[in-house]
Amino acid sequence: MFDEAYTKLEIEEIASIIDVLNNQIDGSIFDPLETTILAINLPFYPNFRFLHVADHATNPPLERFVFQKNNTMDFTVIDWSYKTIQKINAEAPINLNDENILEYVRFYFGHVKGRHGRFIICETADHIRWKEEPSAEIKRSLNQALSPLERGEKRPDGSFTINAFMMLKDALFGIQVFVKPNGSVSMSDHQIIMEDIPVLDSVFKQ
């Protein structure tokens, strides 16, 4: 998501950021000489940029996702809680419209973990991390059932309606996502598409 829009920061800026950021994180700290920081300006957060901070020299790799208020050393580290996203939504403030709502939904579910684990958006069968490669027939059948995120009609309160397919643990289902203008997210009842999918990546088990 947004990979083509990230900018790699230079070592001087990395060092100044790490000097502050290391005081805000628990556990291992980043080595500025081994750390890569990718930055992006997200269309729905006009006053913040988003940082992907990674040190792949450690084992396991050290990685954090961080909001940075523009032109400051004010950082908010993602802790996978929806409350952190809500905090940024209020501070930014968030600016949602028909053009950026789908990217916001992808961003939200990519950086929030619920009580029952991560909800993983699946727009094609290739978004499923299979333990073993499925047959062409199974992938073809799933691709016929799946589709990219799609905007529906707005609700009377101004909320956006998004039709989506997601995975939770090893189950694939269809669902409607509702996003209020302030960025808060809720979901409708779901329809199971497939259960007991043999997934590989541990992120699907979370």
pLDDT digits (tens, 9 = 90+) for 157-171: 999 999 999 988 888
- 111-143: pLDDT as tens digits: 999 887 889 999 988 888 777 777 788 788 888
Q: What is the pLDDT of residue 1?
A: 58
Residue 204 confidence (pLDDT) above 60? no
Q: How far apart are CA 53 and CA 8, in angstroms?
A: 10
Q: What is the pLDDT of residue 205?
A: 45
| Lookup: tokens for 114 | 């619920």
The alpha helices in the chain, defined as continuous H runs, are: 11-21, 82-91, 101-110, 136-145
Sequence-distant (6+) residues with CB within 8 A of 157 are 180
Residue 206 confidence (pLDDT) above 70? no
Q: How far apart are CA 172 and CA 51, in angstroms?
A: 30
Are residues 187 and 175 in contact, defined by beta-carbon separation less than 8 angstroms? yes
Calculate the alpha carbon distances from 25 to 21, 41, 87 in Å: 7, 23, 18
The better pLDDT of the pair 125, 107 is held by 107
Q: How far apart are CA 161 and CA 66, in angstroms?
A: 27
